[in-house]
Amino acid sequence: MGEVRCSALEGAADGWGTASNRADAARDRIDKQLVASLAATQEGEAADAAVARLRGLSHNFQFVYTECGLVRTTLNSLAAELRAPQRRLREALEDARGLKFTVHEDGSVSYPAAGENTLTKEKLPGGTAAGSAAPPLLAPPQALRSPNPHAARAQEIADAIARAVAEAREIDARYARALRKLTAPDGLRVTDAMWADVSGDATAVRGLADEYLRDAIPADRSPAERRAWWDGLTRERREEYLAVFPAEIGNLNGIPAEVRDAANRDNLRLLIGRWEGLEGAEGRGGDDERVRTRLAGLRAIDEQLRAGGNPPMYLLGIGDEGNGRAIVSYGNPDTARNVSAYVPGLGTALDEDFVKNDMKRARDTAIGAQEYDRSSASIVWLGYDAPQLSAADISGNADVMFADQAQVGAVAYNEFMSGISATNENDDPHVTAVGHSYGSLTVGQAAQRPGGVPGADDIILLGSPGTGAKSADELGVGREHVYVGAAENDPVTAMPARIEARGMATGAASGAVVGGALGGPVGAAAGAVGGGAAAYFAQDAQADDREIWYGTDPAHEAFGAQRFRVEDGPRPVRDGGGFAAHSNYFDPIEDEESADNIALIVAGRGNEMSTQERR
């Protein structure tokens, strides 16, 4: 083992790294040049077929990039681990050489005659010590020790040799198992099953590379310190982190946006592979719908990323914990002078609706803001578990809409916003925190934490059930920089205060019991409505008209924010509008004035917005 050349392993790793980088460059050229050019200049079945084949080739190159990168890190990690037992072996051999002991092929150590027999006055004979890799035990009794003064030292050296060799063999066997897994069947087509295997391969290599790579990731440091750490890495080390730890690097606040985007695109493919493996697995019980929903959301994001377009997309975060995590920016938030980060609300999860609705809202905002200042980027931030409540949940328990998730989300949101400040290249970027629905509570809670939302100049609250604050002055940016959009027919902005809601729930339950006794199911329904209404008006007499579910209504005069003009929207019941008025704030088609006002504020021109009288 002393002759093992770790530098040769690292040289082989460099070769695999070169192959990985070439595959990545080929994939990049296909995605950014060939596919984009075809999509922009050609139409028809032939063009569609060509694009499909190119995207398949891109997937294949991504597979090669990932697998070769894993081999590189496995070899580098092997070299790093072997150095420790190799160093101990060399130290033991040096000790033996200095004492003129002989080390044999089997690791045993012979020592010469030394000392003196007290009776014969002759030198005590030498001997050979056989090493043991077992942990050292208590020294043997004096009577069992060789009287030769070299014997104990020779035994120590032999044991050190045995332990070093045994450790090296264990390392070698462990890495050999990992390398044997990093294989692929012959052929040109990378299947979903192969991607599922890649996900498992990546997990195995990460386990090997903990000491070599993961332990150095500054997860517990500030975003500014993480940025400095990344900037200080060599190009080769950055490539290894991106290949083996894309999830950790892609979701680490303080890492530049372009790096996070590259890491998260690769992690997205690994996540899709893992969930595709779950989709085909047996014994999941009733989890099929959850797997299908999550997989559909991941695939929809992947499709959007591959489609490209303007503003360009940056995937700043992706994960499958909880209800899913996804952070998408339209425009580069590191180079933009104006950056907004929108937090979605109730019922949001990583699914197709998130892509269709929430990502579109961020894109609409970016497009609108760029009409006023080209240097604008808009982010949708799903970095927390928004409550997943149904109408039945709310009606059954008036206190079910709790603020816990908003408070947890507020901490994560501020951490993310601190990262935006650490990586933005402008001296004083204009930053806007945007919260919609329950997301406005999350933003409000973030703004009320010590120091407020990092870097925020303005706050926009849309369709808000309240922020937990009594006044806009509590949100840390000054009341003149807190903007509110509240449609008159948005039922969320008219949510009753908790005392009213509890009265409605109790009255509805009582009315249903009485009505059911008199008229069956129809009577129960009518009784519930009547009882709820009666209780509401009874409690309403006791409630402050400034109060809604989470404190003072942000659109109320008492709150003191600036209210901008939005359409009233369709009435929930009479016009059959449901929650449409709650969903239209960002939409330049359904509510052009609201979308334009949001764009003005995000672009730093809030003084030009159209205003609306407070409630």
C-alpha distances out from residue 104 to 96, 134, 162, 610, Å: 11, 19, 12, 90
The percentage of the chain sitting over the pLDDT mark of 70, rounded to a whole number, equals: 85
Whether 52 has a pLDDT exceeding 90, the answer reads no
DSSP assigned state of 114: B
DSSP 458-483: EEEEES-S--S-SSGGGGSS-GGGEE
- Kindly indicate the confidence band of residue 130, based on its pLDDT and cuts at 50, 70 and 90: very high
pLDDT of residue 389: 67
Whether 513 has a pLDDT exceeding 60, the answer reads no
CA atoms within 13 A on the CB side of 105: 0
Find the farthest-apart pair of alpha carbons in the chain and give their distance in angstroms, rounded: 119
Q: Please state, in angstroms and rounded to a whole number, the distance separating the CA atoms of residues 338 and 324.
A: 27
- SS3 at position 325: strand
The percentage of the chain sitting over the pLDDT mark of 90, rounded to a whole number, equals: 55
Which tens digits make up the pLDDT trace of 530-589? 333 333 334 444 456 788 888 899 999 999 999 999 999 888 766 666 678 899 999 999
- How many CB atoms are located within 10 Å of the residue 436 CB? 28
Question: Is the distance from CB of 305 to CB of 318 less than 8 angstroms?
Answer: no
pTM > 0.85: no
Task: Tell me the one-letter amino acid at 176.
Answer: A
- Kindly indicate the confidence band of residue 411, based on its pLDDT and cuts at 50, 70 and 90: very high
**Tokens 């530049």, located at residue:** 256
Q: What's the mean pLDDT when you consider all of the chain?
A: 85
Which tens digits make up the pLDDT trace of 110-125? 999 988 877 777 888 9
pLDDT of residue 441: 96
- SS3 at position 562: strand
Q: Please state, in angstroms and rounded to a whole number, the distance separating the CA atoms of residues 273 and 146.
A: 62
Whether 432 has a pLDDT exceeding 70, the answer reads yes
- Averaged over 482-511, what is the pLDDT? 65
CB contact set of 404 (below 8 Å; sequence gap of 6+): none
Q: Please state, in angstroms and rounded to a whole number, the distance separating the CA atoms of residues 423 and 561.
A: 30
Which tens digits make up the pLDDT trace of 159-208? 999 999 999 999 889 888 888 888 777 766 777 777 777 777 888 887 88
- Averaged over 95-99, what is the pLDDT? 94
pLDDT of residue 526: 33
C-alpha distances out from residue 546 to 277, 319, 499, Å: 52, 39, 13
pLDDT of residue 243: 87
CB contact set of 51 (below 8 Å; sequence gap of 6+): 35, 38, 39
**Tokens 């402050």, located at residue:** 544
pLDDT of residue 241: 92
pLDDT of residue 143: 46
Span of 295-304, 487-496, 548-557 with lowest mean pLDDT: 487-496
Span of 1-10, 206-215, 407-416 with lowest mean pLDDT: 1-10
Whether 82 has a pLDDT exceeding 60, the answer reads yes
Q: Please state, in angstroms and rounded to a whole number, the distance separating the CA atoms of residues 365 and 356.
A: 14
Closest CA to 161 of 265, 245, 87: 87
When comparing pLDDT for 413 and 570, which is higher? 413
Burial of 125 (0-12, 13-18, 19+ CB in 10 A): middle
When comparing pLDDT for 579 and 604, which is higher? 604
pLDDT of residue 521: 34
Whether 400 has a pLDDT exceeding 70, the answer reads no
pLDDT of residue 425: 96
Task: Tell me the one-letter amino acid at 369.
Answer: A
